[in-house]
Structure 1
C-alpha cells in the first residue's frame, strides 16, 4: 500500500504511474475515489501544491472563518480513508510543467513523473489589485491557510472592507458582520450578486445585508489601496471617497491555474480547453474549476467553479478514463449561505438589461415564483427565456428547489438553449 500522507519529494527520481492527478483538491480526490469504486487497480499518484491533505473549500468562508469549525473538520477524508485508496499523495510539491505528448509532469522540487493518463485538477487562484502585494492587512481567500490568516486578522480588527460583490465577497461580509465587525462591501454592480441572481433576488440579498448592518458602496470602483508603514489603512474609491479599514479582503474573482501548462502543447482559454468528454488531449483530462469543456446540451463551452461540479465532473472523467466515452452534461449549480439564508441555483438566470453590468433581468416575464413567497422569506423561483426553463432558484427552500431542478434538466435535454451560460 502506498502512503497517503505528506511525502518529501524526490529530486532526481523518475517514476511511471498509470494515472497522475495534478491537484490534491476535492476534484482530484473525487477522481481517485471514482476510479477505485469502478474497480481500477492501477498505480495512482496525486500531486498537491499545498501541504494539507484534501479539504473542502466552501466552509472556509463560513464555518472555518467564523471559528465554528476547527481546521481539521474541513478535511475531506480521514487518513485511514486516504490510505485505503492505495494512492501516493505527494503534497507541498506543485507541478511546474507538463509535456502532454509524453504525459510527463515536472514538479517544483525537480521530480519527474510519467503517466498513462494525466488528470489536471489545479483549480484557480484569486485575482489581486495593484499594490496589494506586500501590504499587510490585505487578504484573499482561497486556501485553508488563507482562511486561518484572515480569521486571525478579523479577531484583531474592527473595520473590514470587502472588495467584491460576488459569492465569496458577500459570504465573507456576512461572516465578518456576524462576528461583530463593521463591514463595508465595495463592488461594481448595482446589487449584490446581480449577475448570478438577477435583479429581483439580488435586490433581496442586498436588502438582507443592509438590514444586518453591512455598509454598501455598490456601483463603485476601487482607485487604490491606502496604507501607512506597509499596513493597509483604507480603500479609496474612484469618486475619491476613502473607506477606513483595519483589514481588507479582495474577492474580485479568480483565474484558472494553467500557467504551468504554457508549453505543454495543450490549449488554454479561460481554463484548460476540453472536449465534451473533459479530454484536453490524448490521455489528458481536466476536472473542477480549471476545466473548460464543451457542454453538448448547452451547445457552448462552460467552466464551473463550485464544489458540486468538482465531484460530478470527477465521476464523469473517471468513467471516461475507463472507457465509458460519455459527454458530461450537468445542470449548472451553485449555492451560498449568508446570515440565516440559503440560496440555491440550478441552471442560470437569463441575461439581459438590468440594474448593473451583466445583471439578469429578473422581470416578471423571465421569473415566476412557483413556491412560497419572497415576503415570507421562503420561496422558489423559475426562470424562462424564449419559452424554455433556464433556471430554478430557491431561497430557504432546499427540498422544494431540488425537486424543481428536473424542470431545468428536462429543458437541457431538449438541446442547446438560447440563454447564455455562466463563464
Structure 2
C-alpha cells in the first residue's frame, strides 16, 4: 500500500493495542500511520502493497489485534526525593492534618497519561502512618499523601510496568495559637514548631494588626484579622482579635466560668455556678463594671436585652452569618436567642457571649476559614439569622 521513507537509524515508536476490523479500518489505520510519519519525518512515498521501514510486513484480517508494549527504557522522574509538611486542620473538638500534594515531571520521549491503553499506574507505600495516591496526566505525576506523624516514607510508583522509588520526608508543623485576644497597643509572638524552612508572615489587615518577620504581632486598631505563616506552599494561621484591656478580661473571665463552673439555674447567683444570663452579668460586672441595670444579682435574658436596647447597644441587622464570615463580631458581643423574631424581647430565652475567632485552616485557594468562639459553647455555635446582637461595651 504505502512506502514510508524513513531516514536510516533505529526508532522507538510507542504503539498501543490496535484492533483492526475489516478493510476500511485497515486503510484508516495505515493512513494514520502515514500522517504520523509525515509529521515526524516530513517524507512519505506511495508504492506497492506492503508497509516497510519501522513497521514489519503484516497481513491484517478482521478482528485481529496487534499488541505492542510501551517502551519505558528511557523514562525517568525529575525527582525521587520529596520533603513535605503536615499542617493541622481544626474541626469542632478535634484536629487532623491536611494532605500534602506534589507534582513530579516525568521525563519521557512520548506523552504518558494513565487513561491511555497500556499505561497502567500503581502506587504502594511502606509503613502504616502514610497513605499515598497517584495520578498521571501528560507526563506529570501527581502525588497526594496523607500522614499522621514525623517519618520517612518509601513510595513505589509503577508506570506501564516500570517501578519508580520515591522517598518522602514528612514533618508535622504547629502554630503556638490559632486564636488570640490581643490588647490594642500590645504585642505577642507567634511561633511555628517543626519547621526548618524559612517562614513568611503576613496579616490580612495591617491597619488592625501587623506581624514582623519573626512572628511578633502588634495590635493597632480594634478589629479582627488572620495572621498567616507560609511555609513553602503550605499555610498555617491564627485569628487575632484586637480589643481593649477590659473586654479582654471580660472574655477571659466568661470563658473560665463557662468551662470551669457548673450550670445551675437554681444556684445561678452563687459562686461556682451560672446560667447563661448570670455568666454574662458576672463577667461584665467583675471585669468592666457593667451590670445591665442590676447591681446586686444577675438579670435575665429579657432584662439584659432590654437594657442593651435602651442604652443603644444593639447592633443594626442583628446576628448574621455573613458578619461572622467577615469577622465583624467583636469579643464581648452577646447574642440573644428568641422564640419569635418578630417579638424578640418578650420571647428571648438564651444569651451567649462571643469571645473571638479561631483559624481552622485554608481552602484550596489559600483563603483562611474561621469559626466563632463562645464563652460556654463549642466552636461553631451560632444563632438564627436576625437574632438580637448587642455590644455592651465599645
Q: Under a length normalisation based on structure 1, what TM-score does the superposition of the two structures give?
A: 0.21
Higher relative contact order (CA 8 A, sep 6+): 1
Greater C-alpha radius of gyration: 2
Q: Under a length normalisation based on structure 2, what TM-score does the superposition of the two structures give?
A: 0.22
Q: Return the structure number with greater strand share.
A: 2
